[in-house]
Amino acid sequence: MTNTKKDRYIFPALLDYAEDGISVSFPDLPGAFTCGDNDEEAFRMAKECLALHIYGMEQDSEDIPTPKKVQDISVLENQVIAAIEVWMPPFRHEMEQKAVKKTLTIPKWLDELAVENNVNFSRILQDGLKAHLGVDQSEGSKKT
């Protein structure tokens, strides 16, 4: 096991073929499950599932397990093993740029005045927070 973030991960996925679609699990990553209606969708979903699961483990400072060797995984007649690869830098960037919803309270009169003036509340809050925290407008990095 390792707690060091890597840019590239490859894990074996177990694809289980049934009449209603393909279930995908990762033997080394309990809780990482997805599915697809066909091979293309199953592989795309597997890649997204793996990246999201590893990102969550990184955020929680959990150890990332060493993947099992494909030949060490037993399969049933309707199952196959496939190696799924993820490149984490663009995925991490996407997750860090993802919008999150915040609830806040302002006086009613201020809300009414802002609505009358077509104020974009999200933009004003973002700009104000960036200025208050001294971060770059585009990347969220600290100004020096």
Q: Do 88 and 29 belong together in one domain?
A: yes
What pLDDT does 97 receive?
A: 86
Quick check: is 86 in a domain? yes
Domain limits for position 72: 8-95
Task: Going residue by residue through the chain, which has 144 residues, state the pLDDT in tens, using 9 for 90 and above.
Answer: 656 789 999 999 999 999 999 999 999 999 999 999 999 999 999 999 999 999 999 999 999 999 999 999 999 999 999 999 999 999 999 988 887 788 889 889 998 998 899 888 888 888 888 888 998 756 555 555
**How many domains does the chain divide into?**
2
Domain membership flag for residue 138: no
> Which strands form 8-18's sheet, in the order they lie side by side?
33-36, 21-25, 8-18, 79-87
Give residue 75's pLDDT: 94
Q: Is residue 143 part of a domain?
A: no
**pTM for the whole thing?**
0.72
Whether 142 maps to a domain, the answer reads: no
